[in-house]
Structure 1
C-alpha cells in the first residue's frame, strides 16, 4: 500500500484528492501532471550543466581564458552540488519536502541572475557554486517525493516515467542553449535557467502536496542529521548497490561532462551541433527507462539490474572497438555511448527505489547519500579525469569501459553476498 492517503495505482492522487477530481480519468490526468512537475525538478540539474555548453566559445573570448578553464564552469557547479547534496535530504526529513524545494529553487534563481551579470570567470564560478549548492533541493528531493507517494511496482513505474521525461533534458538543453545564442549573448542562457527555476517554484506550490507529514519528521538538529547520514552510509548493502550504479553511470557521464571537448575538439563540430551527440544518447536513456517501467512487476529487480549492467558492459566493449576502427567519425563515435545509456536507463529507476527502500523512515537521508555518490564521483571525473582522457575517442572509450567494468564487478559482489 502507498504512504499516507496516496493510492499506489494513482501517481497524482495526493494532488487529485486535494482538488476534488471526481473520476479516475481526472485522477490519472492529475497524476501525469505531478509526474511532469517532478520530471521538471529533475531536469534542473542537466539544464544547469548542458545549456551553457554552446556558449563556451563566447565566454572564452569574453573572459580571455582557455578551454580547460571553461571546464571549471561544469566542475564548480558539480562539486558544490555534491557538497550540499548530503544535507538536502535530511533537511526535508526534518521540515518537510516542500519548504526545502521552494527555498532551494529561490536561491538557485538568484544565483542564475548572478551568473548572467558576472563580469569575469572567477565571479561566474562563484555564482555557479551557489547554483550547485541549491540545485539539489529539487533534483534530490524529487526522488524522495516519488517514493513517498508510491510503493513497490508503482514506485518503479513512477520513477521510470520521470526518468523518461527527465532524459530529454540533456538532449534539449544544449539545443536550447544554441537557440538562445541566436537572440542574445551568453548571459541569456543564465537568465533563461533562472526563469525556469522560478516557474518550477510556482508550479510546485500549486501542484505538489507535502508528502512528509509532521508526525514522521526527524529532529531539526545537526547531530541527528549527521547520525542519519552515517547510519545510511554504513549499510554495506546500500553501499554495494550505490557504488555499482555510480561507476556504471560514470562510464556514461564521462561523455556528458566532457561534451564540450568531445563534440567540438574531437568530433570537430560547432556550437549548434551538440544535438548530434546528445539526441541519440538520451534516446538510449529514454528507451531504457521505458523498458524499466514495462518490466516492473514482470521481472525481478535483481534480474533486471543484472541484465541492464550486462548491456552497458557489452556496449562499452563495442564502443572501444568502434573507436579503434572508425575514430572520431559520426555516427560511430556516438553509437557506443547511446547503447551504454540504454543499460543505465533500465538500471537507474530500479536501483533508486531499492536504495530508498533500505531506509523507509529516513528516505531523505537515503536519497542524499544515494545522490552524493555519483555526484561526487562525476565531479572528480569532470574536474580531474576528463582533461586527461579526452585526447582521443579511443582513450575516452577505454576509460568508460574501465568504469563500467568496476561497477559490474561490485554488482557481482553484491549478488554473491546475497546468495
Structure 2
C-alpha cells in the first residue's frame, strides 16, 4: 500500500470506484456494443461468418496476450502512464474501426482494441490495493463490481439502437468518443498510486523471474483458478443466450433483456453485500458463503433441468442467484491474489486477468458450442466450471488453515 495514499484522493471513495469501473468496463463494453450489428457488418463488408468471427477472436486474443504485460509494465513505470497509454491506443483503434472499409482492416483494428482495452481492468485492481487497506479495498472492489455490472446491460441496447438508426460505423464512433472522454477524465483525476520505492524493473530477466516465482507458487495458481473459472458458470449462459433463450425458452429477441436484467441484478446485489460484509465477516467465511450459494443453486439447476421442461418462469432465476454468489466472493479472492505479491501487484493482476481471459476463450470457442443445444448439458457444464474454482479454493483452505 502506498504510504501517501491518504493524500492522493480527496474526493468521495465512490467517485474513485466509478472512475476505475469505467476503466474496467471498457473491454467488455467494446465487445457487447458491436454484437447486435454482426450481421449488418458482414453484409456491409461482404464478409463471411468465419471472417466476422475473426473480428471477435482477434480482439480476445489481443486482450489475453497484453494482459500479461499491462500489470508488469505498471509495476515498472507507474499505473497512470499505462492507463493513459492504453486509452490513447484504444481510442485510435476505435477510430480505425469506425473508418474501416474492409473486413481485413476491421480485424486488424479490433486486435489493437483488444490489446489496449485490458489495461484498465488489470491496472485498476492494482490501484485499489495501492490506495486502501484490506477491508476498505474490499469495499471499493465491491463498488467497482456494482458499477461494472451496468456495462453489459447497457452496451447491447446502445449498440442495437445505433446500428438501426445510424449504421454500424456509429458504434465505433461511440467507442472513440468514450475513449477520448476517459482520456480527459483520467488525465485530470487519476493519481499516480505506485510509490517510487515500490517500482520494479521491466528488464526481461527480473520480469521472467517474477512471473516464474508467481506461477511457481501453488497457492497463487490455485487462487487464480478459484477467482477466474467460476465466473464462466454464469458466462456460459451469456454466450449461449441466442440458443438457450431463443430456442429452448422460446423467448423473442425483445424479451432477452429479462435474462440480462436478472443476472446483472444478481451481480450487483452480491457485490453490494460483499462490500457491506467487509471488516465484519472474515474473508474466508465470505468466500465459503459465495461458493455455498453457487453450489446449492448449481445442483438445483441440474435437477430442475432433468425433471422439468425448460420454461422462463424458473430457468432464469438460478443463473441470477449463481451470479449473486460469484459477486459475493470474487472481490475477496481478487484481493487475496494481489496480496500474495505485494511488491508486484500489477503482475499478479495481469496473471489473474490472463487466466480469466483464457478461460473465457475456452468456454466461448469450445464448451459453449458443444453444450448449448441441450439445457441439461448447459446446467452440467455450468456446475463443472464452478467446481473447478471450488476444488481450487478447497485446496487453498486446507493447505493454509
Say if 2:219 is the partner of 1:237.
yes
Whether the 8 Å CA contact 2:14–2:140 is kept in 1: the answer is no
Q: 1:118 to 1:320 in 2, by over 3 A?
A: farther
Question: 1:392 Cα shift?
Answer: 2.9
Structure 2 matches for 1:248-259, cutoff 5 A?
248-259=230-241
Number of aligned positions between the proteins: 401
Task: Give the one of 183, 187, 190 matched to 1:201.
Answer: 183
Number of the residue aligned with 2:121: 139
Number of the residue aligned with 1:128: 110
Q: Partner of 1:41: helix, strand, or coil?
A: helix
Q: 1:103 to 1:266 in 2, by over 3 A?
A: farther
Q: 1:44 to 1:258 in 2, by over 3 A?
A: farther
Q: 1:66 to 1:3 in 2, by over 3 A?
A: same
**2: CA distance, partners of 1:327 / 1:74:** 33
Structure 2 matches for 1:114-125, cutoff 5 A?
114-125=96-107
Number of the residue aligned with 2:302: 320
Q: Unaligned 5+ residue runs, structure 2?
A: none
Whether the 8 Å CA contact 1:284–1:342 is kept in 2: the answer is yes
**1: CA distance, partners of 2:374 / 2:103:** 27
Structure 2 matches for 1:156-167, cutoff 5 A?
156-167=138-149
Number of the residue aligned with 1:14: 8
Question: 1:181 Cα shift?
Answer: 2.4
TM-score by length of 2: 0.93
Which segment is superposed worse, 65-74 or 336-345?
Answer: 65-74
Number of the residue aligned with 1:4: 3
**2: CA distance, partners of 1:198 / 1:264:** 37
TM-score by length of 1: 0.89
**1: CA distance, partners of 2:76 / 2:278:** 31
**2: CA distance, partners of 1:356 / 1:241:** 10
Say if 2:380 is the partner of 1:401.
no
Question: 1:214 Cα shift?
Answer: 2.7
Task: Give the one of 21, 38, 62 matched to 1:39.
Answer: 21
Number of the residue aligned with 1:89: 71
Number of the residue aligned with 1:48: 30
Whether the 8 Å CA contact 2:371–2:378 is kept in 1: the answer is yes
Whether the 8 Å CA contact 2:225–2:388 is kept in 1: the answer is no
Question: 1:320 Cα shift?
Answer: 2.5
The one-character-per-residue Cα deviations of 1:288-344 (angstroms, maximum 9, x if unpaired) are: 101110111111111111110121122222223343455553243322221110111
**2: CA distance, partners of 1:200 / 1:344:** 28
Whether the 8 Å CA contact 1:74–1:382 is kept in 2: the answer is no
The one-character-per-residue Cα deviations of 1:142-195 (angstroms, maximum 9, x if unpaired) are: 111111100110011111111111111111111221222242112211211221
**1: CA distance, partners of 2:99 / 2:349:** 33
Q: 1:104 to 1:276 in 2, by over 3 A?
A: same
Question: 1:120 Cα shift?
Answer: 4.0
Q: Unaligned 5+ residue runs, structure 1?
A: 8-12, 17-26
Q: Partner of 1:82: helix, strand, or coil?
A: helix
Number of the residue aligned with 1:112: 94
Question: 1:85 Cα shift?
Answer: 0.4
Q: Partner of 1:212: helix, strand, or coil?
A: coil
Structure 2 matches for 1:17-28, cutoff 5 A?
27-28=11-12
Number of the residue aligned with 2:293: 311
CA RMSD of aligned residues (A): 2.1
Say if 2:311 is the partner of 1:329.
yes
**2: CA distance, partners of 1:268 / 1:139:** 35
Number of the residue aligned with 1:24: none
Structure 2 matches for 1:263-412, cutoff 5 A?
263-264=245-246, 266-267=248-249, 269=251, 272-412=254-394
Question: 1:404 Cα shift?
Answer: 0.8
Which segment is superposed worse, 355-364 or 169-178?
Answer: 169-178
